[in-house]
Amino acid sequence: MRNILTTIRYDGRSYHGWQVQENADSVQARFQEALYRVIGEQPDIKGCSRTDAGVHANMYCVSFRTEHTIPADRLPLALNRFLPRSIAAVSAADVPEDFHARYSCRGKEYIYKILNSPVRDPFLDGYALHYWQRLDHNKMNEAAAHFLGCHDFTSFCTSDPHRKKGDFHRTVKNISVTRSGELVTVTIEADGFLYNMVRIIVGTLLYVSQGRIQPAEIPGIIDSLDRKKAGPTAPPEGLYLNRVFY
Amino acid sequence: MRNILTTIRYDGRSYHGWQVQENADSVQARFQEALYRVIGEQPDIKGCSRTDAGVHANMYCVSFRTEHTIPADRLPLALNRFLPRSIAAVSAADVPEDFHARYSCRGKEYIYKILNSPVRDPFLDGYALHYWQRLDHNKMNEAAAHFLGCHDFTSFCTSDPHRKKGDFHRTVKNISVTRSGELVTVTIEADGFLYNMVRIIVGTLLYVSQGRIQPAEIPGIIDSLDRKKAGPTAPPEGLYLNRVFY
C-alpha cells in the first residue's frame, strides 16, 4: 500500500475550513471529490491541521493511502483538473508507511497579514485584516518576544468542547512583527498550536499597539492561565497556514 | 462650481469595465451611486479611460463638478462607506475648473501580470494570466524595446465600431518585462493607448517567447499597419491600469 503526501494551497474565503462537515463546504470535501475523480478511490484523508472558516493556506499537507499506480509527480496536475480554482495541488511524493500528515508534523508556521491604512484595498479584501489606526510594530515586536519558548498557552486558547483536553504547553520557536509599507505581518512558528492561538496572540498584539496592554505584561498574562486576560481573537481573514515542517 | 478629482482603486473581476452600460454592472454605476449617497447630486462623471470587463485598476481617476462643500480630503472615507468592497476611493483633491480626468491626462502606465508556473495559484485567480510554458523574459524584453517611441499602432489595435477613427500614433515612453520568481510583469507607459493595445502587445510578446515571432520582426509588424501580423489579444485578468499622469 502506498502512502502519499500531497501539498495544496487554498483561498479559504469560500470554505468553512479544512474539515468535512454537514451543511457547509470544506476544503477536505473538495479534495476528496477531486481525488476520487483521479484515482477512483475514496481513501481516508489525513490533513495536517484543522483550519477555521475564512483562514487561508499557502501550504497545507494531506496524506492518504492508495493502491493506485499514478506517479506522484503527475498527481498535482491531475488533481488540479478537478479541484475548484480556489484550491491548487502544488506537489506530491511517496512517503514511508507510518507517515501521517498530522501526527508526523514537527511544527508549523502561520502568518497573519494586516493592512494598516486608513483606506481599504479591494485586492486585499478577505486576504488581510484592515486596521485603520497606525500600528506600532516595534512595540508589538517587543511584546511578541515574550511568547518565545515553551509555555502553557491556556490564556491564548479558545475552549472547544469538541476538542480533547490535553497538554496546553507549546513551544514558540520564532515570532516576529514586520512592516512593509502598509502591510504589517505577524509570523509565528511553533511545534504546535492550540485552538485560535495565533488569532488570540495577534489580537493581544493589537491591544499592545493600542496601549491597552504593555509588552512587559505578557509574561503575567501567560502565567495567569486565564483567557480573559489576553486580547480578543483577531478575525480569520488575515490568517495563513504558511509552512508545515516534518 | 468646484471641480474635484478623485482617485479610486478597483478589482475588475465583478465589472464589465468602467463605463455605464445596460444589463451589466460597471464601476462607474457603483461610483455614481456612492457619490449620490454622499453629496446628494448626480453630476456628469468623467473617467480617465475606458477599461474592459475583468481589467483592474491600481489607480483610476475620476473628475466631476459639484456645489457641495465637503472638504476634498474627507470625500474618500465618505465614499468608501457606500462603495462595494471591490472598489475603494483612495484620495480626492480640488482641481482647476478646466481639468478633465480624460482630456487632461498626459499619460498612463499599465502593468500586465503573468503567473509563469506549471501550478496555478488560488490567490492569483482572476488577478494574473496563468501561463504554464516557461517564459523567456529576456527575449520578451528585447522585443519590447522595439515598441519604444512614437509609432502608428494600427497593428496593435482592435477595431471598434463604437470608437471614433482618429490618429493611431502613440508614444511609448517606457516598456519592460521583469521576472520576480514565478511572476512575470510587463509594464508599459505611453501618452495614450489604443483599444486593446496593451493586451495585443502582451499577446505578441508571448508569441516572441514561444519563438513564433522573432524580436527583430517587431518593427516590420508595426510598419505593416495590419492587426493580423501581431499576436493574439491576451486575456483581461492580468491587466491593471497602474498610474495616470497629469
Which of A28-37, A152-161, B216-225 has the weakest average pLDDT?
Answer: A152-161
Q: Which of A11, A25, A44, A52 is catalytic?
A: A52
Asked if the interface predicted TM-score (ipTM) of this complex is over 0.90, the answer is: no
**Better pLDDT: B212 or A24:** B212
A221 closest CA partner among A204, A234, A202: A204
- Cα Rg of chain A (Å, integer): 19
The 3-state DSSP class for residue B17 equals coil
Look at residue A165 and tell me whether its pLDDT is greater than 80: no
Domain ranges of chain B: 2-94, 107-245
Domain B2-94: give its CATH architecture.
2-Layer Sandwich (3.30)
Residue A164 pLDDT > 70: no
A9 has a chain B CB within 8 A of its CB: yes
Please, are residues A157 and A195 in contact by the beta-carbon 8 Å criterion?
yes
d(CA A17, CA A58) in angstroms, rounded, equals 14
pLDDT above 70 covers a percentage of chain A that reads: 98
Please report, rounded to a whole number, the percentage of residues in chain A having pLDDT higher than 90.
90
Domain A107-245 sits in CATH at 3.30.70.660
Asked if the C-beta of A223 comes within 8 angstroms of chain B's C-beta atoms, the answer is: no
Cα separation values, A147 from A160, A170, A187, A222, B100, Å:
22, 10, 12, 8, 55
Verify whether residue B73 is a known catalytic residue. Answer: no
pLDDT of chain B along its 246 residues, tens only? Answer: 899 999 999 999 989 989 888 888 999 999 999 999 999 999 999 999 988 889 999 999 999 999 999 999 999 999 999 999 999 999 999 999 999 999 999 999 999 999 999 999 999 999 999 999 999 999 999 999 999 999 999 999 998 766 666 889 999 999 999 999 999 999 999 999 999 999 999 999 999 999 999 999 999 999 999 999 999 999 999 999 999 999
Q: Which amino acid does the sequence have at A183?
A: L
Among partner residues B88, B121, B127, which is closest to A121 by beta-carbon distance?
B88
Same fold, A2-94 and A107-245: yes
What's the confidence (pLDDT) of residue B164?
65
Supply angle C-alpha A53, A182, A107, rounded to 5: 45
Instruction: Give the span between the Cα atoms of A150 and B162, in whole angstroms.
Output: 68
Q: Which residues contact A218 (CB under 8 A, 6 or more apart)?
A: A143, A146, A147, A204, A208
Residue A186 has pLDDT above 90, yes or no: yes
Rounded to the nearest 5 percent, the helix, strand and coil shares of chain B are 30, 30, 40
Best mutation target among B123, B129, B130, B132 (most A Cβ atoms within 10 Å) is B123
At residue B166, the pLDDT reads 82
Closest CA–CA distance from residue B179 to any residue of chain A (Å): 20
Cα B114 to Cα B116: distance, rounded to the nearest angstrom: 6
In this prediction, residue A197 carries a pLDDT of: 96
A165 touches chain B (CB under 8 A): no
The predicted-structure confidence for A211-241, as pLDDT tens digits, reads as follows 999 999 999 999 999 999 999 999 999 999 9
Residues of chain A contacting B127 with CB distance shorter than 8 Å: 123
What are the DSSP calls for chain A, one per residue? Answer: -EEEEEEEEE-GGGSS-SS-BTTB--HHHHHHHHHHHHHS-----EES----TT-EEEEEEEEEEE-----GGGHHHHHHTTS-TTEEEEEEEE--TT--TTTT--EEEEEEEEEESSS--GGGTTTSEEE-SPP-HHHHHHHHGGG-EEEE-GGG----TTS-----EEEEEEEEEEEETTEEEEEEEES---TTHHHHHHHHHHHHHHTSS-GGGHHHHHHHT-GGGS-PPPPGGGEEEEEEE-
